[in-house]
Amino acid sequence: MSVTQNEKIRQVTEETIVVGVDIASETHYARAFDWRGIELGKVFTFANSEAGFTSLLEWVGQLQANTQKTQVLVAAEPTGHYWFGLGAWLMDSGVKLVLVNPYHVKRSKELDDSHPSKSDRKDPKTIAKLAIEGRYQIPYIPQGVYAELRIAMLSRWRILKSLGQTKNQIARWLKIYFPEYGEVFAQFDGISSLLVLETAPLPSMLVELGPDGINAIWRKAKVRAVGLKRAKRLYEAAKASIGCTAGSASARAELGWLLEDYRAKMRQYDQIMAHVESLCEQVPGVPALLEITGVGLATVAGFLAEVGDVTRFDSPRQIQKLAGLAIRENSSGKHRGQTTISKRGRSRLRAILFRAAIALAGKNREFQQIHRYYTGRAKNQLKKKQSIVALSCKLIRVFYALLTKGTAYDPEKLLGDIRRNTPLIAA
Protein backbone atom coordinates (compact mmCIF):
# COMPACT_ATOMS: atom_id res chain seq x y z
CA MET A 1 0.00 0.00 0.00
CA SER A 2 1.39 3.42 -0.96
CA VAL A 3 1.82 6.18 1.60
CA THR A 4 1.58 9.84 0.60
CA GLN A 5 4.18 12.39 1.67
CA ASN A 6 1.63 14.10 3.93
CA GLU A 7 1.04 10.82 5.74
CA LYS A 8 4.79 10.37 6.11
CA ILE A 9 5.16 13.85 7.59
CA ARG A 10 2.34 13.18 10.06
CA GLN A 11 4.23 10.17 11.37
CA VAL A 12 6.89 12.53 12.74
CA THR A 13 5.23 14.18 15.77
CA GLU A 14 6.38 16.14 18.79
CA GLU A 15 6.92 12.81 20.52
CA THR A 16 9.29 11.48 17.83
CA ILE A 17 13.06 11.28 17.81
CA VAL A 18 14.38 11.02 14.26
CA VAL A 19 17.76 9.30 14.06
CA GLY A 20 19.75 9.68 10.86
CA VAL A 21 22.33 6.95 10.25
CA ASP A 22 25.18 7.03 7.77
CA ILE A 23 25.94 3.37 7.09
CA ALA A 24 29.42 2.06 6.29
CA SER A 25 31.03 -1.36 6.16
CA GLU A 26 32.37 -1.37 9.74
CA THR A 27 31.46 1.83 11.65
CA HIS A 28 28.16 3.70 11.44
CA TYR A 29 27.49 7.33 12.41
CA ALA A 30 24.20 8.53 13.91
CA ARG A 31 22.67 11.90 14.86
CA ALA A 32 19.30 12.51 16.50
CA PHE A 33 16.80 15.36 15.98
CA ASP A 34 13.34 16.32 17.12
CA TRP A 35 10.42 17.06 14.79
CA ARG A 36 11.58 20.69 14.29
CA GLY A 37 15.13 19.69 13.32
CA ILE A 38 16.79 20.59 16.64
CA GLU A 39 19.66 18.22 17.36
CA LEU A 40 19.49 16.08 20.48
CA GLY A 41 22.87 15.04 21.82
CA LYS A 42 26.13 14.61 19.94
CA VAL A 43 27.28 12.47 17.04
CA PHE A 44 27.19 8.79 18.02
CA THR A 45 29.33 6.09 16.42
CA PHE A 46 28.66 2.36 16.69
CA ALA A 47 30.13 -0.80 15.21
CA ASN A 48 28.50 -3.04 12.61
CA SER A 49 27.86 -5.79 15.15
CA GLU A 50 25.22 -6.90 17.62
CA ALA A 51 27.04 -5.08 20.41
CA GLY A 52 27.13 -1.95 18.27
CA PHE A 53 23.42 -2.19 17.40
CA THR A 54 22.58 -2.65 21.08
CA SER A 55 24.62 0.43 21.99
CA LEU A 56 22.63 2.44 19.41
CA LEU A 57 19.34 1.51 21.08
CA GLU A 58 20.81 2.29 24.52
CA TRP A 59 21.90 5.72 23.25
CA VAL A 60 18.45 6.37 21.77
CA GLY A 61 16.83 5.19 25.01
CA GLN A 62 18.90 7.65 26.99
CA LEU A 63 17.84 10.46 24.64
CA GLN A 64 14.21 9.44 25.12
CA ALA A 65 14.60 9.58 28.88
CA ASN A 66 16.21 13.03 28.70
CA THR A 67 13.62 14.51 26.32
CA GLN A 68 10.47 12.55 27.31
CA LYS A 69 10.01 11.40 23.72
CA THR A 70 8.03 8.19 23.22
CA GLN A 71 8.59 7.37 19.52
CA VAL A 72 11.69 6.62 17.46
CA LEU A 73 12.16 6.76 13.69
CA VAL A 74 15.50 5.60 12.28
CA ALA A 75 16.35 6.83 8.78
CA ALA A 76 19.25 5.45 6.78
CA GLU A 77 20.79 5.82 3.36
CA PRO A 78 20.90 2.35 1.73
CA THR A 79 24.59 1.94 0.95
CA GLY A 80 24.90 -1.23 -1.11
CA HIS A 81 24.33 -4.31 1.03
CA TYR A 82 25.78 -2.82 4.22
CA TRP A 83 22.39 -1.81 5.58
CA PHE A 84 20.87 -5.31 5.46
CA GLY A 85 22.16 -6.41 8.87
CA LEU A 86 21.19 -3.23 10.71
CA GLY A 87 17.84 -3.06 8.94
CA ALA A 88 16.84 -6.60 9.87
CA TRP A 89 18.04 -6.14 13.46
CA LEU A 90 16.08 -2.90 13.96
CA MET A 91 12.90 -4.42 12.53
CA ASP A 92 13.25 -7.47 14.77
CA SER A 93 13.68 -5.08 17.71
CA GLY A 94 10.45 -3.27 16.85
CA VAL A 95 12.16 -0.04 15.73
CA LYS A 96 10.72 1.64 12.65
CA LEU A 97 13.25 1.98 9.84
CA VAL A 98 12.88 4.12 6.72
CA LEU A 99 15.24 4.64 3.79
CA VAL A 100 16.28 7.90 2.17
CA ASN A 101 17.24 8.04 -1.50
CA PRO A 102 21.05 8.50 -1.85
CA TYR A 103 20.39 10.85 -4.77
CA HIS A 104 18.33 13.10 -2.48
CA VAL A 105 21.10 13.07 0.14
CA LYS A 106 23.64 14.10 -2.47
CA ARG A 107 21.44 16.96 -3.70
CA SER A 108 20.47 18.21 -0.22
CA LYS A 109 23.79 18.23 1.65
CA GLU A 110 24.54 21.87 0.72
CA LEU A 111 21.39 23.23 2.40
CA ASP A 112 23.05 23.70 5.80
CA ASP A 113 26.54 24.97 4.95
CA SER A 114 26.38 25.77 1.20
CA HIS A 115 29.27 23.39 0.70
CA PRO A 116 29.28 20.13 -1.28
CA SER A 117 31.58 18.37 1.19
CA LYS A 118 30.72 14.83 2.28
CA SER A 119 31.59 13.36 5.65
CA ASP A 120 30.39 10.64 8.00
CA ARG A 121 29.37 13.33 10.49
CA LYS A 122 27.52 15.53 8.00
CA ASP A 123 25.47 12.93 6.15
CA PRO A 124 23.43 11.68 9.17
CA LYS A 125 22.05 15.18 9.64
CA THR A 126 21.01 15.45 5.98
CA ILE A 127 19.39 12.01 6.17
CA ALA A 128 17.43 12.91 9.32
CA LYS A 129 16.23 16.24 7.88
CA LEU A 130 14.92 14.51 4.75
CA ALA A 131 13.05 12.02 6.94
CA ILE A 132 11.49 14.84 8.96
CA GLU A 133 10.20 16.31 5.68
CA GLY A 134 8.66 12.97 4.73
CA ARG A 135 11.13 12.36 1.92
CA TYR A 136 11.72 8.70 2.63
CA GLN A 137 10.58 5.25 1.60
CA ILE A 138 9.37 2.45 3.81
CA PRO A 139 11.60 -0.53 2.92
CA TYR A 140 10.02 -3.70 1.67
CA ILE A 141 11.89 -6.82 2.75
CA PRO A 142 10.34 -9.85 1.06
CA GLN A 143 9.39 -12.80 3.21
CA GLY A 144 8.75 -16.47 2.58
CA VAL A 145 8.72 -17.65 -1.02
CA TYR A 146 9.34 -14.12 -2.35
CA ALA A 147 12.57 -13.85 -0.33
CA GLU A 148 13.61 -17.26 -1.65
CA LEU A 149 12.85 -16.20 -5.22
CA ARG A 150 14.81 -12.96 -4.92
CA ILE A 151 17.93 -14.77 -3.71
CA ALA A 152 17.53 -17.58 -6.25
CA MET A 153 17.10 -15.22 -9.21
CA LEU A 154 20.08 -13.15 -8.07
CA SER A 155 22.12 -16.38 -8.06
CA ARG A 156 20.79 -17.17 -11.54
CA TRP A 157 21.89 -13.75 -12.78
CA ARG A 158 25.39 -14.25 -11.38
CA ILE A 159 25.66 -17.72 -12.93
CA LEU A 160 24.55 -16.39 -16.31
CA LYS A 161 27.08 -13.57 -16.11
CA SER A 162 29.89 -16.00 -15.29
CA LEU A 163 28.66 -18.39 -17.99
CA GLY A 164 28.75 -15.60 -20.56
CA GLN A 165 32.33 -14.77 -19.62
CA THR A 166 33.36 -18.42 -19.99
CA LYS A 167 31.65 -18.65 -23.40
CA ASN A 168 33.51 -15.54 -24.57
CA GLN A 169 36.82 -17.04 -23.42
CA ILE A 170 36.13 -20.28 -25.30
CA ALA A 171 35.18 -18.30 -28.43
CA ARG A 172 38.44 -16.35 -28.08
CA TRP A 173 40.42 -19.60 -27.80
CA LEU A 174 38.83 -20.93 -30.98
CA LYS A 175 39.60 -17.73 -32.88
CA ILE A 176 43.26 -18.07 -31.92
CA TYR A 177 43.89 -21.79 -32.34
CA PHE A 178 41.14 -22.97 -34.71
CA PRO A 179 39.47 -19.98 -36.44
CA GLU A 180 37.81 -22.23 -39.07
CA TYR A 181 35.88 -24.17 -36.42
CA GLY A 182 32.87 -21.87 -36.71
CA GLU A 183 32.44 -22.86 -40.37
CA VAL A 184 31.58 -26.41 -39.24
CA PHE A 185 29.84 -25.73 -35.91
CA ALA A 186 27.94 -22.45 -35.66
CA GLN A 187 27.69 -22.93 -31.87
CA PHE A 188 30.45 -24.57 -29.91
CA ASP A 189 28.18 -25.72 -27.05
CA GLY A 190 26.30 -28.44 -28.95
CA ILE A 191 26.75 -32.04 -27.78
CA SER A 192 28.74 -33.13 -30.83
CA SER A 193 30.92 -30.01 -30.76
CA LEU A 194 31.75 -30.36 -27.07
CA LEU A 195 32.79 -33.98 -27.63
CA VAL A 196 35.27 -32.86 -30.28
CA LEU A 197 36.65 -30.01 -28.17
CA GLU A 198 37.14 -32.28 -25.18
CA THR A 199 38.76 -35.08 -27.19
CA ALA A 200 40.74 -33.44 -30.01
CA PRO A 201 40.42 -29.63 -29.99
CA LEU A 202 43.56 -28.75 -32.00
CA PRO A 203 43.57 -28.91 -35.82
CA SER A 204 46.69 -31.12 -35.80
CA MET A 205 44.91 -33.65 -33.62
CA LEU A 206 41.90 -33.77 -35.96
CA VAL A 207 44.13 -34.22 -39.00
CA GLU A 208 45.82 -37.11 -37.25
CA LEU A 209 42.44 -38.73 -36.47
CA GLY A 210 41.07 -38.32 -39.99
CA PRO A 211 37.35 -38.32 -40.89
CA ASP A 212 36.79 -41.86 -39.63
CA GLY A 213 38.46 -41.13 -36.31
CA ILE A 214 36.41 -37.97 -35.83
CA ASN A 215 33.23 -39.84 -36.64
CA ALA A 216 34.24 -42.55 -34.15
CA ILE A 217 34.14 -39.94 -31.35
CA TRP A 218 30.44 -39.38 -31.99
CA ARG A 219 29.63 -43.05 -32.60
CA LYS A 220 31.24 -44.01 -29.28
CA ALA A 221 29.08 -41.45 -27.47
CA LYS A 222 26.02 -42.58 -29.50
CA VAL A 223 25.39 -39.13 -30.95
CA ARG A 224 23.19 -39.45 -34.04
CA ALA A 225 22.83 -35.83 -35.12
CA VAL A 226 26.19 -35.84 -36.95
CA GLY A 227 28.03 -38.34 -39.12
CA LEU A 228 30.81 -38.90 -41.62
CA LYS A 229 29.80 -35.95 -43.79
CA ARG A 230 30.26 -33.49 -40.89
CA ALA A 231 33.48 -35.30 -39.91
CA LYS A 232 34.91 -34.74 -43.41
CA ARG A 233 34.05 -31.03 -43.26
CA LEU A 234 35.76 -30.72 -39.89
CA TYR A 235 38.79 -32.63 -41.19
CA GLU A 236 39.11 -30.34 -44.24
CA ALA A 237 38.79 -27.24 -42.02
CA ALA A 238 41.49 -28.57 -39.69
CA LYS A 239 43.81 -29.41 -42.58
CA ALA A 240 43.52 -25.85 -43.94
CA SER A 241 43.61 -24.13 -40.55
CA ILE A 242 45.73 -21.03 -40.01
CA GLY A 243 45.44 -21.24 -36.22
CA CYS A 244 48.40 -20.69 -33.93
CA THR A 245 50.45 -23.78 -33.16
CA ALA A 246 52.90 -22.42 -30.56
CA GLY A 247 52.32 -23.66 -27.03
CA SER A 248 49.79 -26.23 -28.16
CA ALA A 249 50.06 -28.37 -25.00
CA SER A 250 49.23 -25.47 -22.71
CA ALA A 251 46.55 -24.27 -25.12
CA ARG A 252 44.81 -27.65 -24.96
CA ALA A 253 45.02 -27.61 -21.15
CA GLU A 254 43.56 -24.09 -21.09
CA LEU A 255 40.58 -25.16 -23.20
CA GLY A 256 40.06 -28.18 -20.96
CA TRP A 257 39.81 -25.94 -17.91
CA LEU A 258 37.43 -23.59 -19.71
CA LEU A 259 35.18 -26.47 -20.79
CA GLU A 260 35.21 -27.87 -17.27
CA ASP A 261 34.15 -24.47 -15.95
CA TYR A 262 31.45 -24.25 -18.64
CA ARG A 263 29.95 -27.62 -17.72
CA ALA A 264 30.03 -26.76 -14.02
CA LYS A 265 28.21 -23.49 -14.65
CA MET A 266 25.63 -25.27 -16.81
CA ARG A 267 24.98 -27.76 -14.00
CA GLN A 268 24.55 -24.89 -11.56
CA TYR A 269 22.16 -23.17 -13.96
CA ASP A 270 20.02 -26.30 -14.33
CA GLN A 271 19.94 -26.72 -10.54
CA ILE A 272 18.95 -23.12 -9.87
CA MET A 273 16.21 -23.21 -12.51
CA ALA A 274 14.79 -26.42 -11.03
CA HIS A 275 14.77 -24.68 -7.64
CA VAL A 276 13.13 -21.57 -9.13
CA GLU A 277 10.43 -23.69 -10.75
CA SER A 278 9.62 -25.37 -7.42
CA LEU A 279 9.37 -21.96 -5.77
CA CYS A 280 7.06 -20.56 -8.46
CA GLU A 281 4.72 -23.51 -7.95
CA GLN A 282 4.07 -22.15 -4.44
CA VAL A 283 2.79 -18.79 -5.73
CA PRO A 284 -0.92 -18.71 -6.63
CA GLY A 285 -1.62 -17.44 -10.13
CA VAL A 286 1.72 -18.42 -11.68
CA PRO A 287 0.19 -21.14 -13.94
CA ALA A 288 -2.06 -18.48 -15.49
CA LEU A 289 0.98 -16.31 -16.26
CA LEU A 290 2.83 -19.21 -17.89
CA GLU A 291 -0.15 -19.84 -20.18
CA ILE A 292 0.60 -16.58 -21.98
CA THR A 293 2.43 -17.38 -25.23
CA GLY A 294 5.92 -15.89 -25.09
CA VAL A 295 6.11 -15.69 -21.29
CA GLY A 296 8.56 -18.13 -19.75
CA LEU A 297 9.55 -19.22 -16.28
CA ALA A 298 12.52 -16.83 -16.11
CA THR A 299 10.26 -13.83 -16.84
CA VAL A 300 7.66 -14.78 -14.23
CA ALA A 301 10.23 -15.66 -11.58
CA GLY A 302 12.22 -12.50 -12.28
CA PHE A 303 9.08 -10.36 -12.00
CA LEU A 304 8.08 -11.92 -8.67
CA ALA A 305 11.64 -11.71 -7.34
CA GLU A 306 11.81 -7.96 -8.01
CA VAL A 307 8.22 -7.01 -7.14
CA GLY A 308 7.49 -9.46 -4.33
CA ASP A 309 3.88 -9.91 -3.27
CA VAL A 310 1.84 -7.88 -5.78
CA THR A 311 -1.11 -7.63 -3.37
CA ARG A 312 0.84 -4.97 -1.44
CA PHE A 313 0.23 -2.56 -4.35
CA ASP A 314 -3.01 -0.65 -4.80
CA SER A 315 -2.69 -0.51 -8.58
CA PRO A 316 -0.35 -1.65 -11.38
CA ARG A 317 0.76 1.97 -11.81
CA GLN A 318 2.77 1.62 -8.61
CA ILE A 319 4.62 -1.37 -10.08
CA GLN A 320 5.19 0.67 -13.23
CA LYS A 321 6.79 3.38 -11.09
CA LEU A 322 8.85 0.78 -9.22
CA ALA A 323 10.24 -0.40 -12.56
CA GLY A 324 11.15 3.13 -13.63
CA LEU A 325 8.58 3.07 -16.43
CA ALA A 326 6.57 6.03 -15.17
CA ILE A 327 6.27 8.86 -17.70
CA ARG A 328 8.48 11.88 -17.00
CA GLU A 329 7.26 15.19 -18.40
CA ASN A 330 9.66 17.87 -19.62
CA SER A 331 7.75 21.12 -20.02
CA SER A 332 7.93 24.75 -18.93
CA GLY A 333 5.46 27.48 -19.81
CA LYS A 334 4.56 27.10 -23.46
CA HIS A 335 7.40 24.68 -24.07
CA ARG A 336 6.40 21.05 -24.27
CA GLY A 337 9.42 18.78 -24.35
CA GLN A 338 9.53 15.12 -25.21
CA THR A 339 8.16 12.80 -22.55
CA THR A 340 10.40 9.93 -21.43
CA ILE A 341 10.35 7.20 -18.82
CA SER A 342 11.80 8.04 -15.41
CA LYS A 343 14.30 5.11 -15.28
CA ARG A 344 14.11 5.31 -11.48
CA GLY A 345 13.52 2.24 -9.40
CA ARG A 346 14.55 -1.36 -9.99
CA SER A 347 16.59 -1.47 -13.20
CA ARG A 348 16.62 -5.28 -13.27
CA LEU A 349 12.82 -5.34 -13.21
CA ARG A 350 12.74 -2.87 -16.08
CA ALA A 351 15.14 -5.03 -18.09
CA ILE A 352 13.06 -8.18 -17.43
CA LEU A 353 9.89 -6.47 -18.64
CA PHE A 354 11.57 -4.93 -21.68
CA ARG A 355 13.04 -8.25 -22.85
CA ALA A 356 9.70 -9.97 -22.23
CA ALA A 357 7.87 -7.32 -24.27
CA ILE A 358 10.25 -7.86 -27.20
CA ALA A 359 9.56 -11.60 -27.09
CA LEU A 360 5.81 -11.02 -26.89
CA ALA A 361 5.89 -8.64 -29.86
CA GLY A 362 7.48 -11.43 -31.89
CA LYS A 363 5.65 -14.54 -30.64
CA ASN A 364 2.33 -13.57 -29.09
CA ARG A 365 -0.56 -12.96 -31.51
CA GLU A 366 -2.46 -10.41 -29.41
CA PHE A 367 0.65 -8.49 -28.36
CA GLN A 368 1.71 -8.42 -32.02
CA GLN A 369 -1.60 -6.77 -32.91
CA ILE A 370 -1.21 -4.21 -30.13
CA HIS A 371 2.36 -3.49 -31.26
CA ARG A 372 1.20 -2.94 -34.85
CA TYR A 373 -1.60 -0.72 -33.57
CA TYR A 374 0.76 1.45 -31.51
CA THR A 375 3.27 1.86 -34.35
CA GLY A 376 0.75 2.28 -37.16
CA ARG A 377 -2.10 4.39 -35.78
CA ALA A 378 -2.65 7.79 -37.36
CA LYS A 379 -2.87 9.71 -34.07
CA ASN A 380 -0.11 9.57 -31.43
CA GLN A 381 1.90 7.05 -33.40
CA LEU A 382 4.71 5.43 -31.39
CA LYS A 383 8.18 4.44 -32.48
CA LYS A 384 9.08 0.78 -32.10
CA LYS A 385 11.03 1.27 -28.89
CA GLN A 386 8.25 3.41 -27.43
CA SER A 387 5.79 0.68 -28.31
CA ILE A 388 7.92 -1.91 -26.51
CA VAL A 389 7.85 0.29 -23.40
CA ALA A 390 4.07 0.55 -23.71
CA LEU A 391 3.85 -3.24 -24.04
CA SER A 392 5.98 -3.57 -20.89
CA CYS A 393 3.45 -1.47 -19.00
CA LYS A 394 0.58 -3.52 -20.43
CA LEU A 395 2.34 -6.71 -19.31
CA ILE A 396 2.51 -5.30 -15.79
CA ARG A 397 -1.25 -4.73 -15.84
CA VAL A 398 -1.86 -8.26 -17.14
CA PHE A 399 0.36 -9.83 -14.46
CA TYR A 400 -1.24 -7.68 -11.75
CA ALA A 401 -4.78 -8.66 -12.78
CA LEU A 402 -4.02 -12.38 -13.02
CA LEU A 403 -2.16 -12.51 -9.70
CA THR A 404 -4.58 -10.38 -7.67
CA LYS A 405 -7.90 -11.53 -9.13
CA GLY A 406 -7.03 -15.16 -9.78
CA THR A 407 -8.61 -15.05 -13.25
CA ALA A 408 -7.47 -16.86 -16.40
CA TYR A 409 -5.69 -15.07 -19.22
CA ASP A 410 -8.14 -13.78 -21.85
CA PRO A 411 -6.56 -12.69 -25.18
CA GLU A 412 -9.79 -11.14 -26.43
CA LYS A 413 -10.08 -8.95 -23.37
CA LEU A 414 -6.51 -7.77 -23.92
CA LEU A 415 -7.42 -6.63 -27.43
CA GLY A 416 -10.42 -4.69 -26.13
CA ASP A 417 -8.41 -1.45 -25.89
CA ILE A 418 -7.65 -1.54 -29.61
CA ARG A 419 -11.28 -2.12 -30.55
CA ARG A 420 -12.50 0.69 -28.30
CA ASN A 421 -9.98 3.13 -29.74
CA THR A 422 -10.44 2.18 -33.40
CA PRO A 423 -12.90 4.59 -35.05
CA LEU A 424 -15.84 3.06 -36.87
CA ILE A 425 -15.73 3.28 -40.65
CA ALA A 426 -18.89 4.70 -42.18
CA ALA A 427 -20.65 2.37 -44.57
Q: How many CB atoms lie within 10 A of CB 152?
A: 20
| Residue range 276-297: mean pLDDT, rounded | 95
Residue 251 has pLDDT above 90, yes or no: yes
Percent of the chain with pLDDT over 70: 92
pLDDT at position 283: 95
CA distance from start to end of the chain = 49
| Residue range 50-57: mean pLDDT, rounded | 95
pLDDT at position 403: 95
pLDDT in tens, 401-421: 999 998 889 888 888 766 666
pLDDT at position 424: 40
pLDDT at position 106: 82
pLDDT at position 426: 35
Q: What is the mean pLDDT of the chain?
A: 90
Q: Name the band, by pLDDT with cuts 50, 70 and 90, for residue 427.
A: very low
Least trusted range by pLDDT, from 122-136, 242-256, 278-292, 323-337:
323-337
Residue 337 has pLDDT above 90, yes or no: no
| Residue range 104-116: mean pLDDT, rounded | 75
| Residue range 256-262: mean pLDDT, rounded | 97
Residues contacting 16, CB < 8 A, separation 6+:
34, 35, 69, 71, 72, 73
Domains within the chain, CATH numbers bracketed: 5-132 (3.30.420.40), 147-278 (1.10.287.4070), 286-421 (no CATH)
Residue 105 has pLDDT above 70, yes or no: yes
pLDDT at position 4: 81
pLDDT in tens, 117-133: 666 678 899 999 999 99
pLDDT at position 242: 96
pLDDT in tens, 144-174: 999 999 999 999 999 999 999 999 999 999 9
pLDDT at position 233: 95
419 or 25: whose pLDDT is higher?
25
pLDDT at position 193: 95
| Residue range 315-325: mean pLDDT, rounded | 92
pLDDT at position 425: 38
| Residue range 213-242: mean pLDDT, rounded | 93
